[in-house]
Structure 1
Amino acid sequence: MPPRPHSPRWYALPLLALGVAGFAAFWMLLALALNRQCAWLAPVAALDVVLLLRLAKWPAGASRAAWALLATAAAITAANVLIAAGQVGQQFGLRPWESALKMGPSYAWLLTTLALDPVDLALCAAALLLALWMGLSGPRPAPSAR
């Protein structure tokens, strides 16, 4: 029996996890190459997460909004921790993921809070609100041809 048209697909959450990891890695590489935080990528991450959920045909509503919010927060957190780990790891000749395994959460939090300015924090908050809003909104009917 085929699945109902508005039921979540089994591959939605693994696709979401893979998308978040890939986007966080891209964000980290760009930030380390430009030597900036690149917080403008936070709203792009929110749009990416919502697009992945829509492609997986996750139904609009509270559950899609919650998953979008959680995944966007995970992408923002992972990217900022990896950026901090990459900058510290450069001093010791370590790769970002090697440095991230050696950093504790309190040290990562300290470096991240020192690196983010109010504009960066506003962009991250806007990304979370965007993910929530886009997750709640469903497909809109096409305009009438009449």
Structure 2
Amino acid sequence: MLLGACAGFVAIWVVLAWSTGSQCGWMALFGALDVAWILRLSGWRPGPLRAAVGIVATAAIVALANWMIIAVHMGEVMGFDPIDSALRLGFRHAWLVVQLANGGFELAMAALALLLAAIASR
């Protein structure tokens, strides 16, 4: 259930970022809340394990969303569909584009999202 929710949230984030032409770093906060909500709905017992899973899932959402946003934009330029572009995208190239595309606001939102995930998932 958590994996499906994370994949769905990444898809929404990527479509929103693609349509607006920005990174939409604020979506990380909603991703953290979505993870906390799904963990509660799926019956995870409260405690440090659920908080840790929430942090890891939120970090995965942020990383995968950034990867796919880059892949969509690169694929659009090179004529690839998003999945093909994501599979061809190298780690070093993605890391360079992430550093160029994400400013202080996006980094702050990602850090706040991890904190929010820890608190809301407890």
* Short-chain TM bin: over 0.9
After TM superposition, list the pairs within 5 Å mapping 1:101-116 onto structure 2.
101-116=87-102
What TM-score do you get using the length of structure 1 for normalisation? 0.82
**1:57 counterpart letter in structure 2:** G
Identity %: 43
Task: Give the RMSD, CA atoms, in angstroms.
Answer: 0.7
> What are the Cα deviations for residues 22-72 of structure 1, in whole angstroms up to 9, with x where unaligned?
111110111001111001100000000000000011111111001100000
Q: Does 1:18 align with 2:4?
A: yes
Structure 1 position 105, deviation (Å): 1.1
What TM-score do you get using the length of structure 2 for normalisation? 0.97
**1:109 counterpart letter in structure 2:** W
> Post-superposition, which runs of at least 4 consecutive aligned residues in structure 1 deviate over 3 A?
none
Where structure 1 has 5 or more consecutive residues not aligned to the other structure, the ranges are: 1-14, 137-146
The aligned residue for residue 28 of structure 2 is 42
* RCO higher in structure (CA 8 A, sep ≥6): 2
- Counterpart-to-counterpart distance in 2, 1:86 and 1:98: 9
Structure 1 position 98, deviation (Å): 1.0
Paired residue secondary structure (2:23): coil
Q: Does 1:61 align with 2:47?
A: yes
Q: Could you say which structure has the higher helix fraction?
A: 2
> What are the Cα deviations for residues 54-109 of structure 1, in whole angstroms up to 9, with x where unaligned?
00111111110011000000000000000011111111111221101001111111
- Counterpart-to-counterpart distance in 2, 1:103 and 1:94: 11
The aligned residue for residue 107 of structure 2 is 121
Where structure 2 has 5 or more consecutive residues not aligned to the other structure, the ranges are: none
The aligned residue for residue 93 of structure 1 is 79
